[in-house]
Amino acid sequence: MTKQSVQGIREGLLKKEFSAVELTREALVFAERENPKTNAFLLFSAERAMATAERVDAKIAAGEEPGLLAGVPVAVKDVILTKGLRTTCGSKILEHYIPPYDATAVERIEAAGGVILGKTNCDEFAMGSSNENSAFGPVRNPAALDRVPGGSSGGSAAAVAQRTAVVSLGSDTGGSIRQPASFCGVVGVTPTYGRVSRYGLVAFASSLDHIGPFARNVRDVATVLEVMAGRDPQDSTSADMPVPNYTAHLNGNARGMKLGVPVEYMKHATGETAELINQALEELRKLGCEVRDVSMPATDYAVSAYYIIATAEASSNLARFDGARYGLRSASSGTLGDMYRNTRGEGFGAEVKRRIMLGTYVLSHGYYDAYYKKAQKVRALVTRDFTNAFQSVDAIVAPVSPFPAFRIGEKVDDPVAMYLSDIYTITGSLAGIPCMSVPCGTTKEGLPVGLQILCNHFHEQQMFRLADAFERR
């Protein structure tokens, strides 16, 4: 199982080399044995996984189409709802919450034969860049156990890197798929906003949240995205756009593509990260791509704008966690007001409280225009930068992070330094365009570094074409 790809598993099942039940049983045993090293999984779902595997085997025995993800072991970030399976969002406030329904993405994964092994650890309510904000302990990077895996989808990235899952689902608000993918040395995709339904994704910042896949190769992430993508009547923000066959044209050929490198991004990249990115640009030239500089003038304001918009939306979205309806309810409360205060005080961690307070402040009377409204104007400028750039280039290539994975505890007491680790990923999130991270090498210490690829809205197929060619180089 540790060496299998999505395509390899499907072919093995159809050739009767093994059954989905055998594969699932082996995957569960291996994942449970290896998990203490990284703390990537918070929960395993053996009963549900075996039931799905049995359905896949039954379809194959009956000569039916088993699905694009037949028998594939999948890990799901614990901010994505799974019916009957605990979903905590990495928070004490939802430690015992069991959802009554599945997220649309989960439904589509299982309908395609994907086997949900369990739920993965994450920063609380997806708020963090290191996976150190989880109420259930940090995740360790499989590439170096003293390092962070990135966040907030660190558990999902670590599970794929550790090979305890073949593919996984994460969520991305400002880089929470691409940055962990870069830190762990796997492929991670943030699709166009609206390409994948957010129904069943616990909201952090509704105008920025995406669900996306992790895998160990480009073809696998393309297959998972194809399964999940498409209009969902239960999510009014999901796009009514046709979903192409993303793997049909992955032939390793990117010749003739015009690529832009933002000068504003590269001025922050230093050391081995910059060296590896520059080497990747040379490789792209050898593949027949034309690489040129482009300017993204609003980049320097993106981090400030993002942390105003995201925290404002978080302040509104997290108001529902008050002890009145579901989740934790404080036992030490004499009045309704005390219950609200005590429940949220006991249930939320420090980073979540910090963002709620910041978001409430920027939305308050007298500050809305000065902060939130101005941040939305900057967001429009960031989007315009990409629109202008895509008039002359097919894709933009850039670093994912200014540095590789840092040590656990290194930045935990400096929130601003932690926020700046997302400086290259936030712009794509603000614009709502498809972006991905693909491994481009390792530092002298063996730490992975990712190359970020960004394309115009709904141009995931073009993004995968370039990533596939780069991966095969």
d(CA 321, CA 204): 12
Write down the catalytic residue from 19, 45, 130, 152. Answer: 152
Helix (H, G, I), strand (E, B) or coil at 262: strand
Strand 448-454: give its sheet, edge to edge: 41-44, 115-120, 73-77, 167-172, 210-215, 187-190, 435-442, 448-454, 395-399, 258-262, 290-294
d(CA 7, CA 70): 9
Write down the catalytic residue from 45, 77, 197, 411. Answer: 77
- Is residue 37 part of the annotated active site? The answer reads no
What residues contact residue 71 under an 8 Å CB cut-off, 6+ apart? 9, 10, 13, 20, 23, 24, 53, 56, 113, 115
- Is residue 176 part of the annotated active site? The answer reads yes
d(CA 310, CA 372): 10
d(CA 236, CA 251): 35
Write down the catalytic residue from 19, 134, 168, 176. Answer: 176
Q: Please state whether beta strands 115-120 and 41-44 pair in parallel, antiparallel, or not at all (unpaired).
A: antiparallel
d(CA 81, CA 152): 16
How many other β-carbons are positioned within 10 Å of the β-carbon of residue 84?
12
- Both tokens of 58, joined, read 């039954």
d(CA 154, CA 215): 13
d(CA 342, CA 347): 8
Nearest CA-CA partner of 355 in 79, 127, 126, 91: 127
- Is residue 77 part of the annotated active site? The answer reads yes
- What are the catalytic residues? 77, 152, 176
